[in-house]
Amino acid sequence: MPFIPHTDEDVRAMLKAIGVDRVDALFDEIPGSLRGVSLDGVPAGLNELELTRLMRARAADDGEYLSFIGAGAYEHHIPAAVWQIATRGEFYSSYTPYQAEASQGTLQLLYEYQSMMTSLTGLDVTNASLYEGASALAEAVLMAVRAHKTGRRVLVPRTLDPRWRKVVRSIVYNQGIELTEIDYDARTGCTPLQNVSTLGADGSAALVVAQPNFFGALENVDELVDWAHAQGLLAIAVVNPTALALLRPPGEWGAKGADIAVGDGQPLGIPLSGGGPYFGFMACRDALVRQMPGRIVGKTVDTDGRTGYTLTLQAREQHIRRSKATSNICTNQGLMVTAATIYMALLGPSGLANVARASHANATQLRERLAAVTGVRPCFDAHVFHEFVVRLGKPVAPVLRALQADGILGGLDLTPHYPELGPALLVCATETKTSDDLERYARALARAVG
């Protein structure tokens, strides 16, 4: 948002309008003993030129790297128009649309977002976003347990992001919900049906299915979802929204489709930004809509027949449901959803599919190139989307340090999360990488492991 300065005259006029003579009078209810009397630790202020030079120097110290890290945070090209529009004042500063008559622009945008996400997921309804993907999955687990009514256990594959598993466990364990982890196949990196069925469905409410999974591998989602439904469980899909431009949506998995789908919307026009803010999305079938947390925006007409938008469903504690609320979510990542809606509208279905195809092609090319490097071999043989795992002939940490010295962020060390894999490295390539980038990475990795 552009900076809007106030002159001394402006400030005096505003103070006069509210009946005070100085700014400090606005804070006179704060006891003097609590007020800070000096800012000794804060250096003198800088002018715009000095500040710009300082920040450029700090950015140069950070360095500019060629990144092959994915693991839930993906570098995609974001058209300049996305954030130029999203940071306009009417979007940038808008808050919860409590008053529909004064919030038609925000409500229409959220309605368009919901329409796009239902198209991507193949499900009936989506909400107006959640905080991020991990907590969205936790909400889906709570939602499934409420809907199932009797089951208090949820089956979760170890091929799900280990950080997401920690977040879900932290949120649901105090409610007496058990998360039972399902091991993966050492050859494919996928979750075989045999491992799921061996655990059984007794006392369970849902099965979580990730596509692609944390290793980047594509699971056999049809047989997993069909098994869950045959056992009377709900199926919760965890999906990458970019991948959905190419892969079958969760609403079409198996004979009946997944019941709930969640994911992180970061790939849809949200910059990496040092870890956030991101936003979570959730979609479900109509039958579960009253168990869905957050808000749902609807389209209607007014008394004169003109199109209007309103909050159709708000199962939140902040509204009339109070203790009967499905969730204690108090707000969402509305600005991120705004950017994602603009991003999807600009790219369209074919543009998003092109991003997915280019990402898959780059990952496939890089995987083949790295497999030819001495001391590097693929860890799994499953099909992948835009991430894959390689096993190195030496510990991962020093290899990553050597790559960083070459100006490359080489991927995520899986050793702390999956020690049984040995020195394993998760690598990602999106549409932002060129053939020269891939070759540069392969050469640098060969030097680092050689």
Q: pLDDT band for position 318 (50/70/90)?
A: low
Residue 345, both tokens? 């509208």
Position 36 pLDDT exceeds 80: no
Instruction: Give the ranges where 159-215 is alpha helix by DSSP (H).
Output: 162-172, 193-199
What 3-state class would DSSP assign to 316? Answer: strand
Identify any residues that bridge with 309 across adjacent strands, giving them in sequence order.
299
Q: How confident is the model at residue 64 (pLDDT cuts 50, 70, 90)?
A: confident
**Residue 313, SS3?**
strand
**In whole angstroms, what is the distance from residue 259 CA to residue 237 CA?**
8
Highest mean pLDDT among 21-25, 335-339, 361-365: 361-365
Q: Please tell me the predicted confidence (pLDDT) of residue 1.
A: 47
- The residues, ordered by sequence, that sit 6+ positions from 85 with a Cβ below 8 Å of its Cβ are 91, 342
- pLDDT at residue number 319: 58
Q: With bands split at pLDDT 50, 70 and 90, how would you rate the model's confidence at 273?
A: confident
| Backbone φ/ψ region at 348: left (φ over 0), alpha (ψ -120 to 50), beta | left
Pick from 80, 74, 82, 78: nearest CA to 430? 74
Task: Express each pLDDT in 221-254 by its tens digit.
Answer: 999 999 999 999 999 999 999 999 999 999 999 9
Predicted confidence (pLDDT) at residue 178 exceeds the cutoff of 90: yes
pLDDT the model gives residue 91: 84
Choice among 76-80, 87-91, 253-257, 383-387 with the minimum mean pLDDT: 87-91
What separation in angstroms does the CA of 165 have from each of 174, 190, 339? 15, 17, 27
219 forms bridges with which residues in the sheet?
none
Domains of the chain, each with CATH number or no CATH: 66-78+348-449 (3.90.1150.10), 80-343 (3.40.640.10)
pLDDT class for 322, splitting at 50, 70, 90? Answer: low
Specify the pLDDT at position 72.
95
pLDDT digits (tens, 9 = 90+) for 340-360: 999 999 999 999 999 999 999
Which of the listed ranges 12-26, 45-59, 283-297, 378-392 does the model predict with the highest average pLDDT? 378-392
Q: In this predicted structure, what is the pLDDT of residue 219?
A: 98
Provide the 3-class DSSP secondary structure of residue 424: strand
> Is this prediction's pTM over 0.85?
yes
Sign of CA dihedral 184, 189, 193, 194: negative
